[in-house]
Amino acid sequence: MDHSENTLRDCIQAIFPMSASANAEIRRRVEFLPAARGEVFIKQEAANRYEYFLIEGVCRSFLIDPQGEEITISFFQGASVLSPHSVRTVRERSFYNFQACTDILLGRLDAANFMQLMIAHPEVRDFGNTVMRLELMRKVEREVGLAVLTARERLLKFREQFSMLENLVPHTQIASYLGISAISLSRLRSDIARE
Amino acid sequence: MDHSENTLRDCIQAIFPMSASANAEIRRRVEFLPAARGEVFIKQEAANRYEYFLIEGVCRSFLIDPQGEEITISFFQGASVLSPHSVRTVRERSFYNFQACTDILLGRLDAANFMQLMIAHPEVRDFGNTVMRLELMRKVEREVGLAVLTARERLLKFREQFSMLENLVPHTQIASYLGISAISLSRLRSDIARE
DNA sequence: GGCCTCCATTAACATTTGTAAAGAAGTGAA
DNA sequence: TTCACTTCTTTACAAATGTTAATGGAGGCC
């Protein structure tokens, strides 16, 4: 078993521990593929029929607003699972863009095939539902954060959650994730550093 | 079968049509109870073990920010389903307050009991997962709306989604839902009316 | 009817946040 | 090394949003 497969197992076990056989069932359906830093591996409005594991690296989801600006919705760090297909797509068209922030390694599997596996295996079903519930909790947390926290507090929280990202991805991407302009982010950074 | 039960069926069928027997299984576990306008029927931080249907009326979820201000998170109009228990609670403690905006009629059922029903009945399972997926889609849409729309556009969208609420609930509640102050809401309203 | 409370609106002002433009610092390639 | 490019920061200014306080209307209650 090579490194990727071990890490795939980590992605899964971190969310919902499953038996070796259930792990193997998933493993058999997963195809590994790399994406280079900057590559948009899921495109907004494009058809997409896969579920994804992020084996290694950092990526983000984003969309283009009416002014043509990129808005970062989420960041993801491996080893983890990307938002489920049902969250990313409406009528089989991708809702967001997904872009590699570093060189990454993905594991992908056919969403319909995975759905069959969920139906057949209670363990896999629990895994899938847990993924969805965790994604929902993330959204709730973000919703609350945007509602009750100041931009400054959101930045501090971002630093807790994604400690290495501030020196890794362009600040314009972080700023749009925080709901502020890159200039405001710069101001906040120097304000905080001054203390 | 009285009016409440018919409307309970509407709540369910609107989300995921189920057989008469599955409907009956749910019905057997549901207890109807009214709440008066203004009543907070789920309290933040309080233990809560129920799933809820909103049979009739309007309610909202909200929380108290560090400054002691109420922040509206969502509005709900019957007949519909409130956010699932797993979304409303962390470690069995309610995450949000839920308040009746009008006199309402609720249907509630024990969350653990409903979970058992989901395990036993594939239809109920699909229903439960659909509820969760729809809730997730709502969160995504709201997340995107807060990210890419101006306050003015968010107000116009709110009017589409909740056309009767603007003259029904206090504007402070609507303003916090839109992420602006009540004064800004008033300014937007007069700006739009002036056109 | 008259009083009272709640709520929406408006005005004046302060603060925050965004925009545009220019400069500085770091990165990568020829 | 040097040039081009990207990105972060800074400044000055404009626009949006919030705060405080005053006004006026609607509805409930005695």
Which pLDDT does position B108 carry in this prediction?
A: 95
Across the interface, whether the CB atoms of A140 and B179 are under 8 A apart is answered: no
pLDDT tens sequence across A114-166: 989 988 888 998 898 889 888 888 888 888 888 788 888 899 999 999 988 99
Q: pLDDT tens, A20-69?
A: 999 999 999 999 999 999 999 999 889 999 999 999 999 999 988 777 78
Question: CA A79, CA A93: separation in Å to the nearest integer?
Answer: 26
- Residues of chain B in contact with residue A132, where contact means CB-CB under 8 angstroms, are 129, 132-133, 136
Q: Is strand C less than 7 A from the beta carbon of B188?
A: no
pLDDT tens-place values along chain B, 195 residues long: 567 778 888 899 888 899 999 999 999 999 999 999 999 999 999 999 999 999 999 999 998 887 778 889 999 997 899 998 877 887 788 989 999 999 999 999 999 999 899 888 889 988 988 898 888 888 888 888 887 788 888 999 999 999 889 989 999 999 999 999 999 999 999 988 876
Do you know the residue count of chain B? Answer: 195
Q: Where are the domains of chain A?
A: 3-123
Residues with Cβ within 8 Å of B12's Cβ and at least 6 positions away in sequence, in order, are B18, B23, B26, B53, B127
pLDDT at B195: 66
Using a CB–CB cut-off of 8 Å, the residues of B that contact A are: 63, 65-66, 71, 73, 86-87, 90, 95, 129, 132-133, 135-137, 139-140, 142-144, 146-148, 176, 179
Please tell me the distance from the alpha carbon of residue B38 to that of residue B48, in angstroms, as a whole number.
Answer: 19
Tokens 């002014």 belong to residue: A67
Cα distance between residue A182 and residue A174, in whole Å? 8
Compute CA B194 distance to the chain's CA centroid, rounded to the nearest angstrom. Answer: 33
Spatial distance between the Cα atoms of A58 and A79, rounded to a whole number of angstroms: 9
CATH number corresponding to B3-123: 2.60.120.10
Q: Quick one: tokens of A54?
A: 């992020």
Q: Which residues of A touch B (CB under 8 A)?
A: 63, 65-66, 71, 73, 86-87, 90, 95, 129, 132-133, 135-137, 139-140, 142-144, 146-148, 176, 179
